[in-house]
Amino acid sequence: MRTQVGIIGAGPAGLLLSHLLHLRGISSVVLERRSRDHVERRVRAGVLEQGTVDTLVAAGVGERMLREGLPHHGIELRYGGAGHRIPFEKLVPGRAITVYGQQEVVKDLIAARLEAGGDLRFEVEDVALHALEDRPYLTFGGERLDCDVIAGCDGFHGVSRPAVPEGVLTTYEREYPFAWLGILAQVAPSSEELIYARGERGFALHSMRSPTLSRFYLQVPPDAVAEDWPDGRVWDELKARLETVPGFTLATGEIVEKSVTPMRSYVVEPMQYGRLYLAGDAAHIVPPTGAKGLNLAVADVRVLTEALAAYFRDGSTGLLDGYSAACLKRVWRAQHFSWWMTTLLHTFDSDDAYGRRLQLSYLDYVTSSEAAATTLAENYVGYEW
């Protein structure tokens, strides 16, 4: 078998890349080790930047997102017994975020690729990368796929990044002394916008997926397991961390999913080796506080699409050679913002009274200074594309 671009991973990065390449007349094959049902059901990020929304709409896969997604024009920072709204419509006019689950984006992309006759292969075993320097090919399940380029879109635990020879990539990482317990509940949201709550008990986030489905996160110890958090304990802790302003009552309901997510920052440089190009979580991880993971993957794919289009159009390699540098500029901005939001809102060492006072001082600054609030808003909705 032969194709122009072999894509490993059927998450948002791999599927969107395949679709954008298809629109440019470039062939691809997508290999995914999980089942289609699994990738369409796994709950992940749900906050889409303005640039991500615009990309999906321009690619012809945004119709359901525009119909069912929830546009938001602000977020609330809650601390010290009060809520403070960061108004996007005032600070960054014309730009917002849309709440639309990552699994819904995946469903839309899979449907679009299959309708266009795309080659998507699920439950593929033993994927391996070969000859990355000049004539790359992939092997899987006893088959071989020759390609001009390989795109590694298979996430942090995938096979693409480890295929790069040792010593080529430089790793930058930071682990945080806590994790997030994620909760999906069959209950209408108690707020029209996201609430980021900072308190002495730890961080909490009130989000949503639809008018009847709410998403919550709790800061928990790094070794926490979901089984240690029965439903009653979850609701008690969410109430303790969120019901801190007069008149707010948290609605409760059936919890349909719980999971624990470790918190880490991670980047590898460069994001390319030979004919292999890494995109999304295969190259970088951000703590979810800033809602940047999915959006960074989309940004990578946009850059890679333009580079591949130029290469297959006239053999130009300039954009491909500069792929990593172009992506990393945005990656490091998102890394800083995600780190900043994380350190601003979470409880660290319980004995660090000095650190807690610094947090509160900066929160006061962000919520009282238009310049500081604009910086948060601009980063949150994403820079112009």
pLDDT at 315: 96
Banded pLDDT at 221 (limits 50, 70, 90): very high
| Cα three-residue angle 261-211-95, rounded to 5 degrees | 75
171-182 tens-digit pLDDT: 999 999 999 999
Q: Note if 266 is an active site residue.
A: no
* Active-site residue (options: 176, 196, 217, 323): 196
Residue 283, C-beta contacts closer than 8 angstroms, at least 6 positions apart: 152, 161, 267, 268, 271, 300, 327, 331
Residues 289, 227 share a domain? no
Q: Note if 93 is an active site residue.
A: no
Residues 23, 106 share a domain? yes
Q: What is the CATH number of the domain that holds 298?
A: 3.50.50.60
Residue 235, C-beta contacts closer than 8 angstroms, at least 6 positions apart: 250, 252
48-81 tens-digit pLDDT: 999 999 999 999 999 999 999 999 999 999 999 9
235-268 tens-digit pLDDT: 999 999 999 999 999 999 999 999 999 999 999 9
* Active-site residue (options: 136, 292, 311, 323): 292
Domain containing 285: what range?
A: 2-72+96-173+265-341
Q: Report percent pLDDT > 90 for the chain.
A: 96
DSSP state of 93: T
335-360 tens-digit pLDDT: 999 999 999 999 998 778 999 999 99
* Integer Cα distance of 261 and 234 in angstroms: 16
Q: Does residue 299 lie in a domain region?
A: yes
Average pLDDT for residues 368-384, to the nearest whole number? 95
Kindly tell me if the per-residue pLDDT of 385 is higher than 70. no
Higher pLDDT, 85 or 352: 85
**Overall number of domains in the chain:** 2
* Active-site residue (options: 288, 311, 323, 346): 288
Residues 193, 138 share a domain? no
Q: Note if 196 is an active site residue.
A: yes
Q: What is the CATH number of the domain that holds 259?
A: 3.30.9.10
Work out the number of other CB atoms within 10 angstroms of the CB of residue 334: 24
Q: Does residue 89 lie in a domain region?
A: no
Residues 168, 119 share a domain? yes
189-209 tens-digit pLDDT: 999 999 999 999 999 999 999
Work out the number of other CB atoms within 10 angstroms of the CB of residue 231: 14
pLDDT at 222: 95
Q: Does residue 32 lie in a domain region?
A: yes
Residues 288, 232 share a domain? no
Q: Note if 72 is an active site residue.
A: yes
Q: Calculate the average pLDDT of the chain.
A: 96
285-326 tens-digit pLDDT: 999 999 999 999 999 999 999 999 999 999 999 999 999 999
